[in-house]
Amino acid sequence: MAALLYRLGWWCHRRRGRVVGVWAGLVLLVTGAAVAGGGHGVDSFSIPGTESQRALGELRRDLPEAAGAALTLVVRAPAGQSLDSDGVKAAVARVTAEAAALPGVVTVADPYESGRIDRTRAVGVIEVRYAHALYELTRAERQAFDGLADDGVEVVPGGLPVGAPRVGVRELAGLGVAVVLLVVLGSLVAAGATLVAACAGVALGAGGVLLAAKVVDVSSVGPALVVMLGLGTGLAFAVFVAARQRRLLTTGLRARPGETAPAVGESVARATGTAGPPVLVGGAIVVVSLGGLAVVGVPFLTVLGLVAAGAVGLGAAAALTLLPALLSMAGPRVLPRRGGHARPGDDGEAGARWVRAVLRFRVPLLVGLVLGMSALTVPARGLRLALPDNGSAPAGSHQRMAYDQIAAAFGPGANGPLLVVVRGPRGDVVSALTGRVVAAVRKVHNVSAVEAGPAAAGGTTRVVTVTPVTGPGTAETVQLVGRVRAVAEPLAEGTGSVAVTGTTAVGVDVSRRMTAALPEYLLLVLGVSVLLLLLAFRSLLVPVAAALGFLLTMGATLGLTTWLHGPGPLTSFLPTVLVGVLFGLAMTYEVSLQSRVRELVLRGEDPVTATVAGVGRGAGTVAVAGLVMAGVFSGFVLIEDPTVRAIGFGLAVGVLVDVFAVRLILVPAAMTMLGARVWELPRWLDRLMPHAVLDSVDRRRGGRHVARRAGPVRA
């Protein structure tokens, strides 16, 4: 792999103009097409095969007017008046008529007829039902619904999702932190090249996800997630290559015959060949981990994982092709203005001092960090997952205002009623079964109201609306879904069927499926990645130590996220996304640090000396890469969307914990305690395995670089 990447670096150097031109053309083409005809994210959460999804499908077939999007208009009388006042009553009638005339609307429930007026007679709810699902509403239909208003009454439209989170200047504040770190690391020119390469990958990824949204349903958080991951990982990958190239130039790398001084082409090729393997393997693990979200069996999560994997893959591709071309164009200008001399710490001495200090106190550090990180996982025991609803919408938005007004007037459960679908062969059977269901469900704890709703033609399908006392995202409502199913479904007794569905029930089923699939997904990611590291390092203990360290990282990250998030539930797919991204990033650091250690061990160094030199050489770059990523991710904590905010916080915390606690302290301490056994492999397994793909040293040629013309390895 090192030889191939070395040749790729030389190829990009020689054809730097073409490489930059191709990337620029692709960015302009894709972003232009996305602006002209791109789609938009949707808020469609479903899992085929679950009870709620099957019942919803039957309801759409038999009684479509009860299965479509149910939006609400909260109407409030002016101060000192009630909804029974003549002027207010006329205003409500006008709003109701305007809602009935909207495109796609099939039924409108007048609050005076439905009885949805609170006890003070000041607040009422107009229910507006569409023929199609919520995520199928067009932009024109959404805007028309949001635009309903009347001077005689306050109208607050609710039920519509907040929409795709917007990434603005505030959310990119972390990018400023990253730029400062990059400038401190080297020159302004090198920082600019690194930033341009990362942004090119982000632009391609963001444009691609908008184009994909035209043909498949992409979650509304997809574009923001692509920007977040593309910037974070793209900058981190680029830091590895740019820092290595600058180090090679500042340490006096000799030019090849015919090369003008300084040795720009050789430094670019050598940087790509030595820093490229961790980028390629780490990026591949992130892509595989995110693509592996398909095993969870949730369609929207599969698509979300694929678009996120694409963003990470483009970031790695930009770091290995576009960045070498840009560095070649910059030439010696990537060096600091004060000259081409090595900067303090370029020789890895500062990192080596850090490792020696860790090894001096390795036993107390190992014990203390393991106990401390284990303690941080304790809050994760109270982790609750749920799909986002308008109760978590930004304060001041009309979605949040409508949610809060409905909760205050009719109780929190009115924002998430359950639908019990009763089906049978004849109308009289369904009518009798509906009566038994209503009577039984009314006795269930945490039920506020039960009402028999509309029936299909012929009466073979009917809906019963169950209003919980508690809100849709609470643990009590989750338990209520199970209790209603346990009470209502046995009543059919072979004469029909009873199933619980609705937005709240669908959310409960989605969260349960993803919670149950998380251990399976984690084992899959760990197994595949351990196998890749086993092939790379030809060691059993290195992959195991890497995996165990990641488990500590993940536990601490989930614990801190749960603790700081508060009593409410986290987005149901948050842990799965964190596992996929953080594990790949952790393995990038692991490969970057341990590949150098392994090279020194193969040259005959003892494990302690090799760890001090190898980890010390790469510690500075890994630390800066981690800080850059954490800076980018932390900027998204400022975004209003709760899902993106939680993902940004979890990724920022996870990166910092993994870099500074696990990769730079725990793993070196544990590996040096085990001694030479770390790099041993059973003979039978050694014979079965191919040669390690990450070998930068050819043992058969006396420790020379695989790319023989590059000469001896220089870190």
CATH number at residue 129: 3.30.70
Specify the 3-state DSSP secondary structure of 426: coil
Specify the 3-state DSSP secondary structure of 283: helix
Specify the 3-state DSSP secondary structure of 598: helix
Q: What is the rounded CA–CA span in Å between residue 444 and residue 479?
A: 11
The residue assigned the tokens 């494990």 is 607
The 8-class DSSP code of residue 171 comes to: T
> What is the predicted pLDDT for the residue at 21?
94
In sequence order, the β-bridge partners of residue 158 are 72
The residue assigned the tokens 């805007």 is 143
Whether 346 maps to a domain, the answer reads no
Tokens coding 23: 């990337």
> What is the predicted pLDDT for the residue at 384?
80
Q: What is the rounded CA–CA span in Å between residue 629 and residue 235?
A: 7
Q: What is the rounded CA–CA span in Å between residue 514 and residue 293?
A: 10
Q: Is the pLDDT of residue 698 over 80?
A: no
Whether 274 maps to a domain, the answer reads yes
Whether 53 maps to a domain, the answer reads no
Listed residue (473, 419, 421, 467) closest to 446, CA to CA = 467
Residue where a domain terminates, one of 477, 501, 525: 501
- Beta-carbon count within 10 A of 458 CB: 10
Tokens coding 504: 């709240």
Q: Is the pLDDT of residue 271 over 50?
A: yes
The set of residues, in sequence order, having a beta carbon less than 8 Å from that of 153 and lying 6+ positions away, is 75, 76, 77, 78, 88, 91, 92, 95
Strand 123-130 with 385-386, pairing: unpaired
Q: Looking at the structure, do residues 240 and 376 belong to the same domain, yes or no? A: yes
Whether 283 maps to a domain, the answer reads yes
The set of residues, in sequence order, having a beta carbon less than 8 Å from that of 355 and lying 6+ positions away, is 611, 612, 615, 616, 619, 668
Q: What is the rounded CA–CA span in Å between residue 149 and residue 157?
A: 9
CA distances from 458 to 82, 107, 426, 683 (A): 40, 19, 7, 74
Q: What is the rounded CA–CA span in Å between residue 79 and residue 122?
A: 9
Contact 568, 392 (CB under 8 A): yes
Residue where a domain terminates, one of 135, 158, 181: 158
Note the pLDDT tens digit of each residue in 304-333. Answer: 888 888 988 999 999 999 999 999 998 877
Note the pLDDT tens digit of each residue in 576-603. Answer: 888 888 887 888 888 888 888 888 888 8
Q: What is the rounded CA–CA span in Å between residue 470 and residue 475?
A: 9
Q: Looking at the structure, do residues 145 and 257 belong to the same domain, yes or no? A: no
- Beta-carbon count within 10 A of 678 CB: 24
Whether 149 maps to a domain, the answer reads yes
> What is the predicted pLDDT for the residue at 371?
95
As to burial, measured by CB atoms within 10 angstroms (0-12 exposed, 13-18 middle, 19+ buried), residue 34 is buried
Radius of gyration of the chain (CA): 30
Contact 589, 277 (CB under 8 A): no
Listed residue (127, 100, 614) closest to 352, CA to CA = 614
> What is the predicted pLDDT for the residue at 26?
94
- Confidence category of residue 258, pLDDT binned at 50, 70, 90: low
DSSP assignment of 95-118 equals HHHHHHTSTTEEEEE-HHHHT-B-
- Confidence category of residue 708, pLDDT binned at 50, 70, 90: very low
Cis peptide before 262 (omega within 30 of 0): yes
**End-to-end C-alpha distance for the chain, whole angstroms:** 17
Note the pLDDT tens digit of each residue in 98-141. Answer: 999 998 888 898 888 888 899 999 999 998 988 877 777 777 88
Whether 636 maps to a domain, the answer reads yes
Q: Looking at the structure, do residues 580 and 678 belong to the same domain, yes or no? A: yes
The set of residues, in sequence order, having a beta carbon less than 8 Å from that of 315 and lying 6+ positions away, is 198, 201, 202, 205, 229, 230, 233, 234, 235, 237, 238, 283
Listed residue (620, 623, 601) closest to 611, CA to CA = 601
Q: Looking at the structure, do residues 496 and 513 belong to the same domain, yes or no? A: no
The 8-class DSSP code of residue 263 comes to: T
- Confidence category of residue 705, pLDDT binned at 50, 70, 90: very low
**Whole-model pTM?**
0.80
Q: Looking at the structure, do residues 146 and 247 belong to the same domain, yes or no? A: no
Q: Looking at the structure, do residues 79 and 19 belong to the same domain, yes or no? A: no
Whether 133 maps to a domain, the answer reads yes
Element holding 462 (H helix, E strand)? strand 461-468
Specify the 3-state DSSP secondary structure of 255: coil
Q: What is the rounded CA–CA span in Å between residue 418 and residue 463?
A: 10
Q: Domain span at residue 239?
A: 2-41+167-334+352-380+509-705
In sequence order, the β-bridge partners of residue 128 are 71, 108
Handedness of CA 650, 656, 659, 665 (dihedral sign): negative
Q: Looking at the structure, do residues 476 and 600 belong to the same domain, yes or no? A: no
DSSP assignment of 309-353 equals HHHHHHHHHIIIIIHHHHHHHHGGGGS-TT-SSPPTTTTSHHHHH
Q: What is the rounded CA–CA span in Å between residue 495 and residue 498?
A: 10
Contact 418, 484 (CB under 8 A): yes
Q: Looking at the structure, do residues 238 and 366 belong to the same domain, yes or no? A: yes
Q: Looking at the structure, do residues 242 and 303 belong to the same domain, yes or no? A: yes
Q: What is the rounded CA–CA span in Å between residue 54 and residue 712?
A: 64
Note the pLDDT tens digit of each residue in 608-631. Answer: 899 999 898 888 888 888 888 888
CA distances from 162 to 159, 272, 388 (A): 9, 44, 10
> What is the predicted pLDDT for the residue at 356?
93
CA distances from 353 to 185, 345, 350, 357 (A): 19, 10, 5, 6
Q: Looking at the structure, do residues 136 and 279 belong to the same domain, yes or no? A: no
Note the pLDDT tens digit of each residue in 465-519. Answer: 999 999 887 889 999 999 999 999 898 877 788 999 888 888 888 888 888 888 8
Q: Looking at the structure, do residues 172 and 292 belong to the same domain, yes or no? A: yes
Note the pLDDT tens digit of each residue in 23-65. Answer: 999 999 999 998 887 776 666 666 777 788 888 888 888 887 7
In sequence order, the β-bridge partners of residue 465 are 419, 451
Residue where a domain terminates, one of 132, 158, 184: 158
Note the pLDDT tens digit of each residue in 670-690. Answer: 988 888 888 887 787 777 776
Q: Whole-number mean pLDDT of the chain?
A: 82
> What is the predicted pLDDT for the residue at 700?
34
Contact 583, 331 (CB under 8 A): no
Q: Is the pLDDT of residue 241 over 70?
A: yes
- Confidence category of residue 167, pLDDT binned at 50, 70, 90: low
Specify the 3-state DSSP secondary structure of 550: helix
Whether 401 maps to a domain, the answer reads no
Contact 124, 364 (CB under 8 A): no
Q: Looking at the structure, do residues 497 and 513 belong to the same domain, yes or no? A: no
Domain count within the chain: 3
Specify the 3-state DSSP secondary structure of 234: helix
Percentage above 70 pLDDT, the chain: 87
User: Could you give phi then psi for residue 384, rounded to 5 degrees?
Assistant: -120, 140
Contact 420, 438 (CB under 8 A): no
> What is the predicted pLDDT for the residue at 210?
86
Note the pLDDT tens digit of each residue in 411-465. Answer: 999 988 999 999 988 888 889 999 999 999 999 999 999 988 888 878 889 999 9
Q: What is the rounded CA–CA span in Å between residue 390 and residue 388?
A: 7
